[in-house]
Structure 1
Amino acid sequence: MENNKSRVLIVDDMRINRIVLASILATHGITSDQAESGIECIDLCKANDYDLVLLDHRMPELDGVDTLVRLKEMFKERGKDVPIICHTTEEGRSNVNLYKAAGFADVLIKPVDPRELYEAIMMYLGDEEHSSDTEEDTSYDSGLSDAEIVSGERSGDYEIDVKKEIEKLPVWLKIIPQLDLGVGVTNCGDYEDYLDALYIFYSSVDEKADELGFFLEYEDWTMYALRVHSLKSMARLVGAKKLGKTAAMLEAAAREENYSLIKRETGDFLKAYREFKNSLSPIENEEIFANKAKESEQISPVISKENNPFHRPSILYIQSGEGIVKKGIVNNLTEAKFNVITIPDEPDRIITGRNEADIVIYNPGSNDASNISITMNLLGEICQDDSKILCLTGELTDINKAMASNGSHRVSRTYPRPVDIGTFVNDMVFYTELETDFHRKKTIFVVDDDPAYLSVIHHWLSSLYNVQCFNSGSEMLSGLSTVTPDLLLLDLEMPKMDGFDLMKIIRTDYTDPRIPIILLTGNSNKDIVFHVLEYKPDGYLLKTSPKENILDVIRRFFAESMFKLAHEGKAVNDENT
Structure 2
Amino acid sequence: MDKRVLLIGGGKSFMVTSISKELKEQGFEVVQAAPDVTEIEHIENRPNVYLIYVDDVDEMMEFFVYLRDKSVETDISISVIGSPDEIEKIYTKTSKDKIAAAFERPVNVKELGRAMLKVVEAEEVRLQKKRILVVDDDGTMLRTIKEWLSEKYQVFMVNSGMAAITFLAKNEVDLILLDYEMPVTTGPKVLEMLRSEPATSDIPVMFLTVKSDKESVMQVLSLKPEKYLLKTMPPAELIANIDEFFENQKIKKYM
TM-score by length of 1: 0.23
CA distance in 1, matches of 2:250, 2:193: 26
Match of 2:98 among 298, 302, 318: 298
Aligned to 1:460: 148
CA distance in 2, matches of 1:517, 1:503: 8
| Cα deviation, residue 554, structure 1 | 0.7
Give the partner amino acid of 2:182: M
Is the partner of 1:481 in helix, strand or coil?
helix
Match of 2:211 among 523, 533, 552: 523
TM alignment of 1:64-75, pairs within 5 A: none
Aligned to 1:493: 181
CA distance in 2, matches of 1:498, 1:448: 10
TM alignment of 1:175-324, pairs within 5 A: 295=96, 298=98, 304=122
CA distance in 1, matches of 2:225, 2:129: 22
After superposition, the C-alpha distances for 1:310-339 in whole angstroms (9 at most, x for unaligned) are: xxxxxxxxxxxxxxxxxxxxxxxxxxxxxx
CA distance in 2, matches of 1:443, 1:302: 19
Q: Answer yes or no: is the 8 Å Cα contact 2:132–2:155 preserved in 1.
A: yes
Is the partner of 1:445 in helix, strand or coil?
strand
Q: Answer yes or no: is the 8 Å Cα contact 1:299–1:463 preserved in 2.
A: no
Q: Answer yes or no: is the 8 Å Cα contact 1:446–1:467 preserved in 2.
A: yes
Aligned to 1:168: none
| Cα deviation, residue 443, structure 1 | 1.0
| Cα deviation, residue 485, structure 1 | 0.4
| Cα deviation, residue 442, structure 1 | 1.0
Match of 2:235 among 540, 544, 547: 547
Q: CA separation of 1:455/1:305 partners in 2, compared to 1, >3 Å: closer, same or farther?
A: closer
Compare the two structures and name the one with the higher strand fraction: 2
Matched, 1:504 2:192: yes
Aligned to 1:479: 167
| Cα deviation, residue 512, structure 1 | 3.1
Unaligned runs of 5+ in 1: 1-290, 309-438, 568-577
Matched, 1:563 2:238: no
CA distance in 1, matches of 2:196, 2:99: 31
Q: Answer yes or no: is the 8 Å Cα contact 1:442–1:486 preserved in 2.
A: yes
Q: Answer yes or no: is the 8 Å Cα contact 2:206–2:226 preserved in 1.
A: yes
After superposition, the C-alpha distances for 1:55-87 in whole angstroms (9 at most, x for unaligned) are: xxxxxxxxxxxxxxxxxxxxxxxxxxxxxxxxx
Q: CA separation of 1:302/1:479 partners in 2, compared to 1, >3 Å: closer, same or farther?
A: farther
Is the partner of 1:444 in helix, strand or coil?
strand
After superposition, the C-alpha distances for 1:427-485 in whole angstroms (9 at most, x for unaligned) are: xxxxxxxxxxxx93011100000011111011111122111100101111111111110
Compare the two structures and name the one with the higher helix fraction: 1
| Cα deviation, residue 305, structure 1 | 9.7
Unaligned runs of 5+ in 2: 1-91, 101-118
Q: CA separation of 1:303/1:517 partners in 2, compared to 1, >3 Å: closer, same or farther?
A: farther
Is the partner of 2:203 in helix, strand or coil?
coil
Give the partner amino acid of 1:298: K
After superposition, the C-alpha distances for 1:7-43 in whole angstroms (9 at most, x for unaligned) are: xxxxxxxxxxxxxxxxxxxxxxxxxxxxxxxxxxxxx
CA distance in 2, matches of 1:303, 1:541: 34
| Cα deviation, residue 524, structure 1 | 1.6
Q: CA separation of 1:546/1:299 partners in 2, compared to 1, >3 Å: closer, same or farther?
A: farther
CA distance in 2, matches of 1:302, 1:525: 47
Q: Answer yes or no: is the 8 Å Cα contact 2:134–2:156 preserved in 1.
A: yes
Q: CA separation of 1:455/1:306 partners in 2, compared to 1, >3 Å: closer, same or farther?
A: closer
TM-score by length of 2: 0.51
Aligned to 1:449: 137
CA distance in 1, matches of 2:121, 2:239: 18
CA distance in 2, matches of 1:536, 1:444: 18
Q: Answer yes or no: is the 8 Å Cα contact 1:460–1:547 preserved in 2.
A: yes
| Cα deviation, residue 302, structure 1 | 8.7
CA distance in 2, matches of 1:303, 1:560: 28
CA distance in 2, matches of 1:501, 1:299: 35
Number of aligned positions between the proteins: 144
Q: CA separation of 1:446/1:534 partners in 2, compared to 1, >3 Å: closer, same or farther?
A: same
Give the partner amino acid of 1:485: V
Q: Answer yes or no: is the 8 Å Cα contact 1:449–1:494 preserved in 2.
A: yes
Is the partner of 2:98 in helix, strand or coil?
coil
Q: Answer yes or no: is the 8 Å Cα contact 2:212–2:228 preserved in 1.
A: no
CA distance in 1, matches of 2:99, 2:150: 6
RMSD over equivalenced CA pairs, Å? 2.7
Percent sequence identity over aligned pairs:
37
CA distance in 2, matches of 1:305, 1:479: 21
After superposition, the C-alpha distances for 1:181-205 in whole angstroms (9 at most, x for unaligned) are: xxxxxxxxxxxxxxxxxxxxxxxxx
